[in-house]
Structures are given as C-alpha cells and as structure tokens.
Amino acid sequence: MATTASVHLRTTAPAAPRAHKAPRLRELGPNWYASVMGTAIIANAGAGLPYQPPGLRGACELLWALSAVTLAVLLAARAGHWRHHRDRARAHLLDPAVAPFYGCLSMALLAVGAGTLLVGRDLIGTGAAVAVDAVLFTAGTAVGLVMAVVVPYLMVVRHQVGASQASPVWLLPVVSPMVSAAVGPLLVPHLPAGQPREALLLACYALFGISLLAVLLLLPLVLGRLITHGPLPLALTPALFLVLGPLGQSTTAVNQLADVAPGAIDAPYAGALGAFAVVYGVPVMGFALLWLALAAAMLVRAARQGMGFAMTWWALTFPVGTCVTGAAGLARHTGLEAFAWLAAALFLGLVTAWLLAAVHTLRGLCAGRLLPAAE
C-alpha cells in the first residue's frame, strides 16, 4: 500500500521549476549595446575634432579599445542569452518597448568598426584596421537593414501600440542605416578606383535615403505624443535625446560623403555633393540644437522630480556624439569657427554624459541591480 502511494505521489507531484543556466543573463536585453555605442562615439568624435589638445588622441585610442572589448563581451553574453533564455529573447522581440533596441546591435558594430579605422589603426596598423572595419561595416549594415524591416513589421502585425505609446525609441531600428551611411565613406578611399568606389559611395546615399525618409515618418508621431499626452515617464526622459541621432548622423553622413566624393565620382556630381553637405547640414544642425534645448529642459524637469538612474541614460551619449561629428564636418566644409566651437562644446557635454552613465552602470552591475540573478 505504501509503495502504491509513493508511486502515485511521484507521478502526480508538480515538477520542480527548471533552474536557468547563466541566470544573470536572463534580463540582458539588446539595449546594453548602447553602452558600446556611447563609448565608441567618444573615440570617433574626438578623432575628428577641429581642436586636438595634447593627450586627446591617446584617450581616444583607450576608449576605442574599451568599446571593442565591451562589444566582444556583449556579443558573447547575448549569444548565451539566446542559448539559455530563448523564451526571454523571443519575448523581447514581441515587446514593443524592447524590440526597437535590436537596432543597437548594428550601430554598435558600425561604431566600433569606424573607430578601428579612425584611431585603432595607430595600434594595430592600417591594413588590419581596414580589414576589421570592412567586416564590422558589412555585418552592421546587414543587421541594420534586417532590423529596419523586421521591427516595423512586428510593430504592425504583432505589437499592439497606440498613439500614447509613441516613443523616441521607435527611431532606433531605422537610424542604423544612417550610421552605415556616415561610416561607409571611411572605406571608400581603400577600394580600387572606379566602379568599386562609386558603388559604395552611392550605396551610402541610398542608406541615407532609407533612414531619412523613415525617420521623417516616425518623428511627427513622437512630437505629437509629447504635445497631446504630456512628458514621458521619468525613467524614459533621457530617450528624448535619441532624436538627435538621425539629425546629427545625417549631417555627419553628407559631410563624410562629400569628403570622398571627388575621388569616387566624376564632376559635376562631386561638387554638387559638396554643396549638398552644407545646404542640408546647416538647417538640420539648427533643428538639432532646438531639439537639444527641448530635451535638456525636459531632462532637468525629470531630475527635479526624482529621476533615478536607468540604462536610458546611455541615450545621452551616442546621439550627442553624432552632433559632434556633424558640427565638425560643417566646420570643415564652411570654414566657420562657430561650428568648430560648437563641436568642442558638444564634445565636453558628451564626455560628461558618458562619465555619468558609465559610473552608474558599473555601480549597478556591482550591486546586482542591473542584471539580477533569475529566481
């Protein structure tokens, strides 16, 4: 009788919950790639500053190396996340608040690749830097184009979102092709003259158009949500700075493309592209400064109301960095000292924001608040 009862208990008792492997990776979302982007952009922006104080180049090399190591660690960790917590990874894709961050992987690859050619070549040599950048540019562009389709598709057919949920985060998947357009010109001079250079140049303009038109469709939704539904939640307020990304990055792209156009395409297009860099870049930079003022005011308001640290603080880094590179590009093509000073001022703000985000991220990781072990 006892034997029968024990067998019955063994067959009817609920199974113990399965212990997750690598429990601290369970909540590791794609938003963590923003830390790579924010670190790499300091190296990239610093390398192109009109003013080069002593020690800046060495600091840029150090930050590029840090971004490269962080990227490698995150790629391994995210691979572990997909392997051991596939249910959570799929849930992220189906979550309208998280899915747009899948665009950050592309931008992290592209930012580190660009930094490899801009400053990493001093450490590993030009040949190796070109090879690394070519691989990361190709991978980043491919991932960016896929996510620029997949995430909006999921938003249409799977996510259930309303106008009140419109967020600057929605811009992330469609901005990554603009990053490709901005860093692709670095590879143009390393291609054979003729068709290869012209093909990459025009491909970058196509990527520019893909991203720009998509952003122009989404940005009114973001501004409309702010006007009709009020400020974002406190923790999400720094995400307002994400709007600066497509503005600064598009300005950077047209200036970078204009730099390499004379060696890649014949007249009169080369000259026209140089003029387009100024005609497009100056008004867009003006709007970027307007948005920067609005976002800064909203950030001060949120801070006064008790906004604590969240990973959204990294939104204060990469987008501002793109404005630094955009202003530096305009300084080159217009010769105006005002743009050079603007780039320097924005760079100081970028470094300050990075220090705040990096210190709080390290504290959160050490305290176990950012990546708690799954129960």
pLDDT digits (tens, 9 = 90+) for 203-212: 999 999 999 9
Give the distance, in angstroms, between the CA of residue 161 and the centroid of all CA atoms in the same chain.
Answer: 23
User: In this structure, what DSSP letter does residue 308 have?
Assistant: -
Prior bond to 246 cis, omega within 30? no
In the predicted structure, residue 183 carries a pLDDT above the cut 90: yes
Long-range contacts of 193-197 (CB under 8 A, 24+ apart): 193/263, 197/260, 197/263, 197/264, 197/265
Number of CB atoms found within 10 A of residue 373's CB = 12
Q: Does domain 23-365 bear CATH number 1.50.10.150? A: yes
Nearest to 50 by CA among 306, 375, 347: 347
**Percent of the chain at pLDDT above 70?**
94
Tokens of 55: 């020690």
Which pLDDT value is given to residue 140?
A: 97
Query: Among 34-48, 63-77, 127-141, 155-169, which is the least confidently predicted range?
Result: 155-169
Return mean pLDDT, the chain: 92
Q: What is the pTM of this model?
A: 0.92
In the predicted structure, residue 192 carries a pLDDT above the cut 80: yes
Which pLDDT value is given to residue 374?
A: 53
Q: How far apart are alpha carbons 84 and 19 in whole angstroms?
A: 11
Query: Among 35-39, 43-47, 78-82, 140-144, which is the least confidently predicted range?
Result: 78-82
Residue that is written with structure tokens 């801009």 in the block: 118
User: In this structure, what DSSP letter does residue 16 have?
Assistant: P
Question: DSSP states of 96-122 as a string?
Answer: TTTGGGGHHHHHHHHHHHHHIIIIIHH
In 3-state terms the chain splits into helix, strand, coil percentages (rounded to 5) of: 80, 0, 20
Stated as kind and residue range, the H or E segment containing 226 is helix 195-229
Which pLDDT value is given to residue 159?
A: 87
Radius of gyration for the alpha carbons in the chain, expressed in angstroms and rounded: 23
Q: Half-sphere exposure (CA, 13 Å, Cβ side) for 200? A: 26
Residue that is written with structure tokens 């960790």 in the block: 77
Q: How far apart are alpha carbons 168 and 180 in whole angstroms?
A: 20
Model pLDDT for residues 288-334, shown as the tens digit of each residue: 999 999 999 999 999 999 999 999 999 999 999 999 999 999 999 99
Q: How far apart are alpha carbons 230 and 262 in whole angstroms?
A: 47
Long-range contacts of 347-350 (CB under 8 A, 24+ apart): 347/45, 347/46, 347/49, 349/320, 350/41, 350/42, 350/45, 350/317, 350/320, 350/321, 350/324
166 to 92, 94, 178: CA distances (angstroms): 18, 16, 21
